[in-house]
Homo-oligomer: A and B are copies of this chain.
Amino acid sequence: MFICAQYSSVYPSWVPPAEVLGVLSDEALYIGELRLRVTPLRDTVLPPVSSKLVKSLLLASPVPGWMRELVEARRGYKPLFVSMLYRGRRALYSATTQAGRPLVARAGQPLEARVAFVAHDASAAWELAAVLGGRRETPYGPVETVVEEARIQTPEQLRLPSPADGPTGVLRVEARTPVVLTSKVLVATEPPPGARIPRLHRLLPSPGLVAAYAFRLWNRALGPRYAVYWRDAWNHDAAMVARAAEVYMAEIDYQLHPETVVIGRGASGRLRLARGWRGWITYRVAGPRLARLLDRLLALTNTLGLGRSRGIGLGDTHAQWIQPKNNKTKPNQ
């Protein structure tokens, strides 16, 4: 790339600081994922973001200390995803357009949920699976949980689903809950002193935003041992990846809408809202190198989610390579 982030040249050899990563050594890591069937035992009014029930389920179970810590941690890029409750393909949460209508789950009607995390231990998923099942009391009423599937992967294994052997050049991303991306992710890690960067919610999945967030999440959640680089190590910066993606990737088709979710209530009683995009989009990825990078980065977002508030089920996305349409009359894409 012939574009650079000027101030990042202050890092002659970039190593992510440990406190940024939340990972203190370069030990091996594992990505675990559990699929749960959660059945309310009586008619239940769900919270506006139903993932809170899943969270309290985790905290009501004798889960290991590291998981409890992860659930309660409040920091960006944390290696945990707790999904909304799903009824079939529908994620249960209140968009502001549906405000007032409470979310209700019927007694005996099973719902689905997913928990994904990064762990230091290959057996973490089984330990968690062993303690999560059974009947639990939650602030929303008693529920019965069955762990339907548990899976562990190493970061090296992560690849996107594809109809071919690897990237096809056409990427499809579907968001089942709103994805909240902010413009901060496009800014060099160390802006010059005095620069005031607003935190704006971006509501379109432009290639740069998606790639930059996925790049940061990978490096922050997986730490130095698995760090990925773009071009030179001296400029290990998501802003670089964003610029490459803006030039070598383009939208092919989409169906998108912005959506605001009530994620809680502040101390003053004011509603806390998050606004993001939902729907699906397909991209042409014209750079093979970029395609290979996204093949790994987005495989992580498929489990850990994309964007802010992944810990309460926002950014539940599914990315995959799809077969390019062999359309002779399509415009120059």
Contacts and interface: CB of A to CB of B under 8 A. Distances in A.
Interface of A: 2-7, 183, 186-188, 191-192, 195, 197-206, 208, 239, 243, 246-258, 260, 270-271, 273-275, 284, 286-287, 328-333
Contact of A188 (B3, B198, B258): B3
Given A206-B206, A246-B208, A331 B260 contact: yes
A125 B251 CA distance: 39
A186 B246 contact: yes
Contact of A273 (B204, B255, B330): B330
A332 B272 CA distance: 9
Given A4-B6, A330-B273, A197 B247 contact: yes
A257 to B, nearest CB: 8
B332 A201 contact: yes
A239 B3 CA distance: 9
A73 to B, nearest CB: 21
Contacts of A7: 2
Contacts of A200: 248-250, 284, 286, 333
Given A186-B247, A204-B251, A249-B200, A4 B4 contact: yes
A181 to B, nearest CB: 10
Given A2-B188, A4-B5, A200-B286, 5 more contacts: A201-B250, A203-B251, A204-B204, A243-B243, A254-B258
29 contacts: A2-B195, A3-B5, A3-B6, A3-B188, A3-B239, A4-B5, A183-B246, A186-B243, A186-B247, A198-B248, A198-B287, A199-B332, A200-B249, A201-B250, A201-B332, A201-B333, A203-B252, A204-B206, A204-B254, A206-B206, A206-B208, A206-B246, A254-B258, A255-B257, A260-B330, A260-B331, A271-B329, A274-B331, A275-B331
